[in-house]
C-alpha cells in the first residue's frame, strides 16, 4: 500500500462536476490499494476573484486580511471534496493548512513553510480516511494565516510528501505533463516523459508555471519524485526526478517565458565602491526579489544600473529606489512594464558551444530585438518586448528542434 500525495489545481476543481470527477478518481485509486493525502487549490479563478473583490474595498488591503481572505478559496474546495467523497461512501476529512500542521514564517503573500507536523494527518490516514488539505497556506507562530504565493499549492503538496515520506507527489492539472514550451502559445510543443530537478527548477523559475518553483526546490532537496499529469484524462504524464540519464540531460530541454517582468533603470550612478550594495540591500530588506542585474561600463565615472523585478513588486521597488537615487545623486530612475523574458534551458548548454549564438540569431531572424541577456550554467535568457513572446517561443522551438524532443 503506497502512500501518495496528490494535488489538484484550480481548473481541475473548477466547478461542482469537476470536484465530483476528482472524487471518483480518488476512489478508484483507493480501490487500487493506495493511501492518499490530497491537496487542493481554490476553484477555477477564485483567487483572482478574491483579489479583485479586495481591490473594490481599498487600494491598499492589509496583508494580514488579504492572506486570511485568499486562504478561504482552498478551504472551500477541500470541504466540498470531502463531502463528495463521503457521499460516495469513502471516509474523508478536510483540513485547513493550519489544521494539517503546516507552519510558516509571517511574510504574508509569499510565506515559506518552516515546519510541518503531520501527526493529525497520519492519525486520520491510519483511521482509513482520505485526508484533503487546503493548499497554499499555513499558520505562523503568531497564529496568523499566511499564504505561500501564487501557485503555492504545489509546494504544500511536495512539503506534505516530504514530511509523510510518501512514495511520490502527483500534480494533476489542465495539461497532461511538462512540455518543451507552454503548449498554449506553442502548439508544436512536445511532452517530456521525464525531466531532472535541475532543469525543471530552471524552467519553473523562469516562467513555466506548470510547477511552482519552490515545490521543485523542495522535491530536489529531499529526492521526492514528482509526477505531473492531467486530471481530465489518463494520458501518461511527466516524471520529475533525480535519476535522468546523463546523455538525455545533455541537450536543450525546453523554453520558458515569463511576462511578469518590470525593468528599473537607474541612470548616472556614481561608479564607486559600495554603491551597488547601497542600492540592492534596501531592496532585499524590503522583500523585493531582483533577478537580473546589469551594470554598464562606466563613462566618466558614471554608470547605468538596470534590473528586473516582478510587476506586482514594481511600485514597492520604486518607492525604495527613488529616494536612494536622490541620496547618491544618480540621474533619473525609470521603469517599464512592456517586457518579458524568454529562456532556453538545458543541462547540456555548458558543454556544447554555440547555443547562445544560435538563440540570438534565431531572434534576429524573427526581427525580435533583445533588450538584455543573462545566463546561468544551464540557461540563456533574453529580455524582449512582451508582444514578441509567442513568435520568439515558436521560432526558438523550431530552431532547437524540440518538436520531437520527448
Ligand atoms: P493549476 O491550476 O493546475 O496549478 P497552472 O495554470 O498553474 O495549473 O499550470 C498549468 C499551466 O501551465 C498550463 O495550462 C500551461 O499553459 C502552463 N505551462 C507553462 N509552461 C508549460 C510547460 N512547459 N509545460 C506544460 N504547461 C505549461
Ligand atoms: N489558488 C492559488 C493561486 O491561484 C494557489 C494555487 O492555485 O496553487 O495562485
Ligand atoms: Mg499551478
Q: What is the mean pLDDT of the chain?
A: 94
Cβ of residue 150 lying under 6 Å from some atom of ligand 2: yes
Up-side HSE of residue 302: CA atoms within 13 Å toward CB?
11
Cα distances (angstroms) measured from residue 221 to each of 243, 269, 351: 14, 40, 25
**Total Cβ atoms within 10 A of residue 120:** 14
Ligand 2 atom closest to Cα of 42?
Answer: 1
- pLDDT at residue number 298: 76
Domain that holds residue 160: 3-174
For residue 6, how far is its CA from the centre of ligand 2 (angstroms)? 15
Q: Does some domain include residue 181?
A: no
- For 55, phi then psi, to 5°, come to -65, -25
For ligand 1, pick from 172, 184, 209 the residue to mutate: most ligand atoms within 8 Å of CB: 209
Q: Does some domain include residue 183?
A: no
What's the CA gap between 252 and 278, in Å, rounded? 38
- pLDDT at residue number 249: 58
The answer to whether 125 and 101 have CB atoms below 8 angstroms apart is no
For ligand 2, pick from 38, 39, 45, 47 the residue to mutate: most ligand atoms within 8 Å of CB: 47
Strands 194-196 and 145-147: unpaired
In this structure, the answer to whether residues 169 and 290 fall within a common structural domain is no
Task: Annotate 161-228 with DSSP letters as a single string.
Answer: HHHTT-SEEEEEESSSS-BSS-TTT-TT--B-SEEEHHHHHHHHHTT-TTS-HHHHHHHHHHT--EEE
In this structure, the answer to whether residues 145 and 276 fall within a common structural domain is no
In this structure, the answer to whether residues 31 and 138 fall within a common structural domain is yes
Quick check: 272 pLDDT over 90?
no
Cβ of residue 325 lying under 6 Å from some atom of ligand 2: no
Residue 331, helix vs strand vs coil: coil
Segment 186-244, tens digit of pLDDT: 999 999 999 999 999 999 999 999 999 999 999 999 999 999 999 999 999 999 999 88
What is the torsional sign of CA 384, 390, 394, 397?
positive
Of the three residues 146, 174, 202, the one that is the final residue of a domain is 174
Task: Report CA 20 to chain centroid distance, whole Å.
Answer: 27
- pLDDT at residue number 250: 60
- pLDDT at residue number 42: 98
Write out the three cell numbers for 341. Answer: 523574458
- pLDDT at residue number 350: 73
Q: How far apart are the first and last CA of the chain?
A: 31
Contacts of 364 (CB under 8 A, 6+ apart): none
Q: Which of 4-13, 126-135, 149-158, 375-384 has the lowest mean pLDDT?
A: 375-384
Q: Does some domain include residue 156?
A: yes
What's the CA gap between 306 and 293, in Å, rounded? 6
Ligand 2 atom closest to Cα of 156?
Answer: 8
For residue 151, how far is its CA from the centre of ligand 3 (angstroms)? 4
CATH number assigned to the domain comprising residue 160: 3.40.1160.10
The band of 248, judged by pLDDT with boundaries at 50, 70 and 90, is low
Cβ of residue 47 lying under 6 Å from some atom of ligand 2: yes
Cβ of residue 135 lying under 6 Å from some atom of ligand 2: yes
Q: Does some domain include residue 197?
A: no
- pLDDT at residue number 379: 94
Quick check: 150 pLDDT over 80?
yes
What's the CA gap between 159 and 226, in Å, rounded? 12
In this structure, the answer to whether residues 157 and 58 fall within a common structural domain is yes
For ligand 2, pick from 38, 39, 41 the residue to mutate: most ligand atoms within 8 Å of CB: 41
Q: Does some domain include residue 348?
A: no
In this structure, the answer to whether residues 149 and 269 fall within a common structural domain is no
What is the torsional sign of CA 321, 325, 330, 333?
positive
- pLDDT at residue number 265: 95
Q: Does some domain include residue 216?
A: no
Q: Does some domain include residue 132?
A: yes
Ligand nearest to the CA of 39: 2
For residue 280, how far is its CA from the centre of ligand 1 (angstroms)? 32
Long-range contacts (CB closer than 8 Å, 24 or more residues apart) made by 215-218: 215/154, 215/155, 215/157, 215/158, 215/171, 216/158, 216/240, 218/155, 218/158, 218/159, 218/162
- pLDDT at residue number 299: 79
For residue 40, how far is its CA from the centre of ligand 2 (angstroms)? 9
In this structure, the answer to whether residues 20 and 161 fall within a common structural domain is yes
Total tally of structural domains belonging to the chain: 2
CATH number assigned to the domain comprising residue 310: 3.30.2130.10
Quick check: 246 pLDDT over 80?
no
In this structure, the answer to whether residues 149 and 280 fall within a common structural domain is no
What's the CA gap between 196 and 260, in Å, rounded? 25
For residue 193, how far is its CA from the centre of ligand 2 (angstroms)? 25
Residue 103, helix vs strand vs coil: strand
Q: Does some domain include residue 164?
A: yes
Of the three residues 131, 155, 174, the one that is the final residue of a domain is 174
Task: Annotate 377-390 with DSSP letters as a single string.
Answer: TTEEEEEEEGGGHH
For residue 235, how far is its CA from the centre of ligand 2 (angstroms)? 24
Segment 73-98, tens digit of pLDDT: 999 999 999 999 999 999 999 999 99
For residue 211, how far is its CA from the centre of ligand 2 (angstroms)? 11
- pLDDT at residue number 13: 98
Ligand nearest to the CA of 73: 2
Cβ of residue 8 lying under 6 Å from some atom of ligand 2: no
Segment 293-313, tens digit of pLDDT: 988 877 788 899 999 999 989
The answer to whether 228 and 158 have CB atoms below 8 angstroms apart is no
For residue 10, how far is its CA from the centre of ligand 3 (angstroms)? 8
Cβ of residue 41 lying under 6 Å from some atom of ligand 2: yes
Of the three residues 312, 336, 360, the one that is the final residue of a domain is 336
Average pLDDT for residues 141-156, to the nearest whole number? 98
Amino acid at each position: 500500500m503506497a502512500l501518495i500525495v496528490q494535488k489538484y489545481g484550480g481548473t481541475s476543481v473548477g466547478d461542482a462536476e469537476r470536484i465530483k470527477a476528482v472524487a471518483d478518481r480518488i476512489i478508484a485509486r483507493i480501490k487500487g490499494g493506495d493511501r492518499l493525502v490530497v491537496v487542493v487549490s481554490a476553484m477555477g479563478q477564485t483567487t483572482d476573484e478574491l483579489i479583485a473583490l479586495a481591490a473594490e474595498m481599498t487600494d491598499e488591503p492589509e496583508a494580514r486580511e488579504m492572506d486570511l481572505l485568499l486562504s478561504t478559496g482552498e478551504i472551500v474546495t477541500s470541504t466540498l471534496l470531502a463531502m463528495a467523497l463521503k457521499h460516495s461512501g469513502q471516509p474523508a476529512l478536510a483540513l485547513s493548512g493550519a489544521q494539517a500542521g503546516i507552519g510558516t514564517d509571517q511574510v504574508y503573500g509569499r510565506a515559506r513553510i518552516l515546519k510541518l507536523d503531520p501527526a493529525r494527518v497520519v492519525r486520520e490516514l491510519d483511521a482509513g480516511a482520505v485526508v484533503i488539505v487546503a493548499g497554499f497556506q499555513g499558520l505562523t507562530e503568531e497564529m496568523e494565516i499566511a499564504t505561500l504565493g501564487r501557485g503555492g499549492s504545489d509546494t504544500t503538496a511536495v512539503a506534505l510528501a516530504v514530511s509523510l515520506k510518501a512514495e511520490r507527489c502527483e500534480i494533476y492539472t489542465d495539461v497532461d505533463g511538462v512540455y518543451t514550451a507552454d503548449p498554449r502559445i506553442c502548439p508544436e510543443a512536445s511532452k517530456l516523459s521525464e525531466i531532472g530537478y535541475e532543469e525543471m527548477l530552471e524552467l519553473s523559475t523562469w516562467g513555466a508555471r506548470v510547477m511552482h518553483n519552490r515545490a521543485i526546490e523542495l522535491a530536489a532537496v529531499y529526492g521526492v519524485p514528482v509526477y505531473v499529469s492531467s486530471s481530465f484524462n489518463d494520458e501518461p504524464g511527466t516524471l520529475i526526478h533525480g535519476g535522468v540519464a546523463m546523455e538525455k540531460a545533455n541537450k536543450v530541454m525546453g523554453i520558458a517565458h515569463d511576462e511578469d517582468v518590470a525593468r528599473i533603470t537607474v541612470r548616472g550612478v556614481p561608479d564607486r565602491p559600495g554603491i551597488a550594495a547601497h542600492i540592492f540591500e534596501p531592496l532585499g530588506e524590503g522583500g523585493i526579489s531582483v533577478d537580473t542585474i546589469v551594470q554598464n561600463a562606466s563613462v566618466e565615472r558614471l554608470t547605468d544600473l538596470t534590473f528586473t523585478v516582478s510587476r506586482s513588486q514594481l511600485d514597492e521597488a520604486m518607492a525604495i529606489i527613488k529616494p536612494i537615487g536622490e541620496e547618491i545623486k544618480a540621474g533619473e530612475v525609470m521603469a517599464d512594464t512592456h517586457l518579458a523574458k524568454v529562456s532556453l534551458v538545458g543541462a547540456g548548454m555548458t558543454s556544447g558551444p554555440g547555443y547562445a549564438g544560435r538563440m540570438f540569431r534565431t531572434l534576429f531572424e524573427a526581427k525580435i530585438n533583445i533588450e538584455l541577456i543573462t545566463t546561468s550554467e544551464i540557461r540563456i535568457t533574453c529580455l524582449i518586448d512582451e508582444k514578441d513572446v509567442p513568435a520568439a517561443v515558436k521560432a526558438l522551438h523550431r530552431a532547437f528542434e524540440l518538436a520531437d524532443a520527448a
